[in-house]
Amino acid sequence: MSAQETLIRAGSGVAAGFLLLGIILWAPVWLWALVVVAIGWQLWREWLGLHPQSQVFLTTPILWGLGIAAAALGAIGLGVLMVWVGMALMVLRGIDAFEGEESAFGLLAPYLLAAVALVLPMVALAWLPQAPGGSGALILLLVIIWGADSAAYFVGRAVGRTKVAPEVSPGKSWEGVVGGALAAMVLAGIGCGILDLPLSSSHAALLGLMLAPISVLGDLWESAWKRLAGVKDSGAILPGHGGMLDRMDALLFAAIPYTLLYLWFVALAE
C-alpha cells in the first residue's frame, strides 16, 4: 500500500469513525434507527454482489430491515422475531419457487447465511445503545474492534512472521493477532472506566481479550467469501476501505458474543 493510499484509508476511516460516534452519542433514536437500517441495506446489497446467482425475495429483506429498526428503538425481542419470521417466509417461498430444482438449497443458502452473519448481528448492534450503560456499551465494542484491528495491522507489519491463513488473507500473522488482543484488553479496561459502564474494568479487559480473536475470524470469513466470488473488495463505498462489508466484517462477527458477554458481566457486577 502506497503512502497516498494509506493517507486516504486513514482519513476516510477517521472521518467515518467520528461521524458514527457523533450519531451514537447525540442523534435522536429515530435517526439512529434510520442509520442502522441504511447500513444493513448496504451490507445486504454487497452480500448479494458476492452471490450473484441467489434469488431475491423482497419480503425477507424488508422484514429484516423492520427488525433492525425495532431493535434500534429498544424492542430487541421483536427485532429477533422478525428476522426469524423473514427467514421462515423465505424458506417457504423458496420451497415453492424452486420445487423440483436440484439447486434450490444453493439459491436459498445466501439468505440463510445472511440472517446469521449479517442481520442478527445488526439487530444486536442496533440495540446496544439501549443496553445498560447506554451508548457507551456500543462505543466499548467499537473501541475493542477498532483497537484490535489497528494494533494487529501495525504489529503484524513490524514483527509478523507466522501467517494465520496465507491462502485466505496473506497479511494476517499470529504476532499481529496477539498484539491486537493485548491492545484490545488494555483499551477495553481503560475505556470501561472512561465510559462509566456498569461492569468492572477487569471484566471489560477480559471482554477485549476474548473478542479480538473472534474479530479476526470475521475478517478471515469475509476474505474467504470474496476469494470465492473472485473480487478484491465487497464494494467501494468507503475510500481506501472498499465496501461496508469490508469495514464491518470483524464487528459483525463479534456483535452477538459481545452483547451476551457484556450483559453477563453487567449482571455479575450488580
pLDDT digits (tens, 9 = 90+) for 22-57: 999 998 999 999 999 999 998 888 887 776 655 556
Q: Is the pTM of this model over 0.75?
A: yes
Gyration radius (Cα) of the chain, Å: 19
Task: With cut-offs at 50, 70 and 90, classify the pLDDT of residue 67.
Answer: very high
Name the least confident of 49-53, 68-72, 97-101. 97-101
> Which candidate, 218, 173, 199, places its Cα nearest to that of 264?
199
User: Is the backbone of residue 239 left (phi > 0), alpha (psi -120 to 50) or beta?
Assistant: beta
Are 250 and 219 contacting, i.e. CB atoms less than 8 angstroms apart?
yes
Q: What is the rounded CA–CA span in Å between residue 140 and residue 135?
A: 9
Are 265 and 131 contacting, i.e. CB atoms less than 8 angstroms apart?
no
The three three-digit cell numbers of residue 252, written as one number? 459483525
Examine the pLDDT at 181 and tell me if it is beyond 90: yes
> Partners of 241 in the beta sheet?
none
